[in-house]
Amino acid sequence: MTNYINHNNYKISYSKWNTTQKSKYTLLFVHASGFHGMIWNQIITKLSDYNCLTIDLSGHGLSDNPDHDYKWNEFAFELQTLIVDLNLNNIFGIGHSLGGYAITHATNKLS
């Protein structure tokens, strides 16, 4: 199911998977530049014991395409907004390329 958060007056799309599971861990999947959250679908179907989230970073997938410079730090701020707005704890970040960068910088700023 697709959901949205508001970040700097634009919508960021995210999807929840396996939310009925009682896992104390959430796996947060973040795509690379030029991709979207659905690239993780086949992997997530094998992880039914975990709560999983995917995100479409701005300018990708179902998220808004705001008129701003797409700097990688902005993607980290989008992840921070998602983590704070959803009150996520015990997160494991899984990222590909840009996604790995965004996870690393988002968590450094949150800790």
CA distance linking residue 37 with residue 18, whole number of Å: 15
pLDDT at 69: 77
Other C-beta atoms lying within 10 Å of the C-beta of residue 90: 9
pTM above 0.85, yes or no: yes
Question: Cα 17 from chain centroid?
Answer: 12
Q: Which superfamily does CATH assign the domain made up of 2-110 to?
A: Alpha/Beta hydrolase fold, catalytic domain (3.40.50.1820)
pLDDT at 5: 97
Winning range, highest mean pLDDT, from 19-28, 37-46, 60-69: 37-46
Query: Domain map of the chain by residue range?
Result: 2-110
Region 26-31: mean pLDDT is: 97
pLDDT at 91: 94
